[in-house]
Amino acid sequence: MPDFASPAWLLALAGIALIRWLHRFRTASASVLVPALHLWPHAAGESDAGRHRERPDPAWRLRAAIAAAVAVALSGPYWASTRPLALTLWIDDSPSMQAVESGRRRIDAGLAAALTAARAAGHTEITLRSLADPAASLALDAEDRPDSAAVAIWLAEPRGAPAPPAPVLMAGDTIHWALTDGADRSLDQWLANPRLAKIVQIGTATENVALLRLAISPAPEGDGTSIAFVRLRNFGRQPAHRTLRLQSNGTLLAETAVTLPPDAEHRLQIALQNGSADLMASIAPGDALARDDRLVLAAERAWPLAVVVAAGCDRRLGMAIAAHPRLRLAGAGEGAALSLHCGPPAAPPNAPATIVFDAGDEPQRLSAPVHRATDAAARDWPMLEAAWLKAGDRPLQGRVVLQAGTRPLVAVRRQAGHSVVDVAFDPSAGDLPTRAAFPRLIGALADEGLGIRLQAPAAIALPADESKIAPGPLPSAPLATPSARAGVTDASWLALALATVLFTFDLLRVARHRRPAPGADGFRR
């Protein structure tokens, strides 16, 4: 039996008796043929005497059916669905959900609990969606396990900070659940959404110490040492004791003990000998969230890069290299990241990047304005006056990054893993080496050759909000029931369609009854 959304409309069915009563009188019709219409009132039809009362007009049944169909449609009939509704499980896959408790990640334990509850409730069509990236979804069926390979791949890495999904994604007849640890308070308002039928909260750990920033800078003394800057924070509710270690290529460079009060931050400066491998900072012992217990700064960003200046170059090139905070002159027999040559190299360079200064045989002083090309990668090109430069008129191969008018001055080409910066002006000609822009010019050329920004901060940092793992109180979710339209089949349209068909049939019947009889040459009375 169907249910009704507005059963009060069914009381209108009592009006069927009124319809029958209105059709209670019916007289037999008779036809009187007259020569002209104006003679009809005076014509005496023999049927006048024979007219008699008949049964109610049978049309009352049709019209009663129309009225009944309209009343049923207005009452909103529907059938409750016996098929389990589809479930969308919104997953908070932020970094805090990567915290490990009892040997298992929060997100894995929470998903297992949520799927168990969903299948116990009869849901077999389950879709996982990420709160950080709603476009990332994974459909599960009754056979999929929370530890399956597909689920493991989908949950492998955090997608970032969660955010409430667009309302359109929560429309329709789907049941919506949420899985979160409650560490990100930006979700509180969305978690109170009435479209959420259930909130699964996971996690109990509150203690976490994080390495938030690792930076390094050459020591001002210029004695082959650097200063590491480390920032730590205790996000827990208890005092924390940690050992900070700085390592490079497996070699311990520095170690220090740190005590952090609850919700406190600590900054350290540690002098280090320059190295050539990645610089790693780590804290021990570890805690629930391992991803913020270690930071690694790549070698090319951590240490000054070795540069070889070929024989025959102006000594002021070497001075510009030594003055650069991220570059240093390579020692004898030491491998270099960059080599500088004045004139064509006598032998293929061994360094990954090479700068070749070659102004040709007869360099001429420039007159056109010097400017950076539109596709130049380096962001630290200095302002250069044309009068400072003498350049040869030779073709350059590769991507042009500096030019005088339309004349190329610097071009970069890459081949077989090797980068070559081809320079068409003489770095020692005129008064260019005496200008303040000269060291910056050499640095910009090194940027192009190495493919990195040497002036960028040598640092790596993590957002502080991603290290908060303490679960917070969540708003109470509504009862785990579908919305008004969820899980039902609306039958109102059937009753309305029936009423429309019957009403159309009645109109056609009445129109046919009023049409004159075929072949009659008079008028029907």
- State yes or no: pLDDT of 376 exceeds 80: no
Identify whether 482 is part of a domain: no
Q: Are residues 410 and 338 in the same domain?
A: yes
Q: Do 237 and 324 have their domain in common?
A: no
| CA–CA distance, 84 with 437 (Å, rounded to integer) | 73
- Whether residues 36 and 107 share a domain: the answer is no
Q: pLDDT tens-digit profile of 120-129?
A: 888 888 999 9
Instruction: Note whether 242 and 273 are same-domain residues.
Output: yes
| pLDDT > 90? residue 179 | yes
What is the pTM for the complete model shown?
Answer: 0.66
Q: Which of 161, 178, 201 is the last residue of a domain?
A: 201
Does the pLDDT at position 30 exceed 60? Answer: no
Coil, strand or helix: which one is 248?
A: strand
The angle that helices 492-514 and 59-74 make with each other, rounded to 10 degrees, is 150
Residue 50 has pLDDT above 70, yes or no: no
309 and 297, same structural domain? Answer: no
337 with 268, same domain: the answer is no
Q: What is the CATH number of the domain that holds 230?
A: 2.60.40.10
- Say whether pLDDT at 311 is over 80: yes
Q: Are residues 320 and 432 in the same domain?
A: yes
Angle at which helix 15-22 crosses helix 59-74, to 10 degrees, equals 160
Q: What is the mean pLDDT of residues 75-91?
A: 79
Q: Which residues contact 176 (CB under 8 A, 6 or more apart)?
A: 87, 88, 90, 170, 195, 196, 197
Contact 197, 209 (CB under 8 A): no
Task: Kindly state whether residue 467 falls inside one of the protein's structural domains.
Answer: no
Backbone angles phi and psi of 403, in degrees to 5: -150, 160
Q: Is position 28 within any domain? A: yes
pLDDT in tens, 221-240: 767 788 999 999 999 999 99
Claim to verify: residue 101 and residue 197 sit in the same structural domain: yes
Q: Over 90: is that where the pLDDT of 375 sits?
A: no
Tokens encoding 224: 């082959």
Last residue within a domain, chosen from 279, 302, 325: 302
396-419 tens-digit pLDDT: 888 999 989 888 999 999 877 789
In a domain, 502, yes or no: yes
Asked if 77 and 93 sit in the same domain, the reply is no
Write out the residue range of the structural domain in which residue 98 sits. Answer: 87-201
Assess if residue 522 is contained within a domain: no
Whether the pLDDT of residue 145 is over 90: the answer is no
Query: What's the chain's average pLDDT?
Result: 84
pLDDT at position 55: 66
- 479 part of a folded domain: no
CA–chain centroid gap for 65, Å, is 56
Angle at 448 between CA 447 and CA 449, to 5 degrees: 95
> What is the percent of the chain where pLDDT is above 70?
87
Which residue, of 201, 229, 250, is where some domain finishes? 201
- Of the candidates 340, 291, 293, 521, the one whose C-alpha atom is nearest the C-alpha of residue 443 is 340
Are both 192 and 248 inside the same structural domain?
no
pLDDT tens-digit profile of 94-122?
A: 999 999 999 999 999 999 999 999 888 88
433 and 329 within one domain: yes
Distances (CA, A) of 312 to 6, 317, 362, 421, 450: 98, 11, 18, 18, 23
- How many structural domains is the chain composed of? 4
**Are 221 and 149 members of one domain?**
no
Name the E strands within 62-186: 77-80, 87-91, 100-101, 104-105, 126-130, 137-140, 175-180
Residue 472 lies in a domain: no
Task: Say if 520 falls within a structural domain.
Answer: no
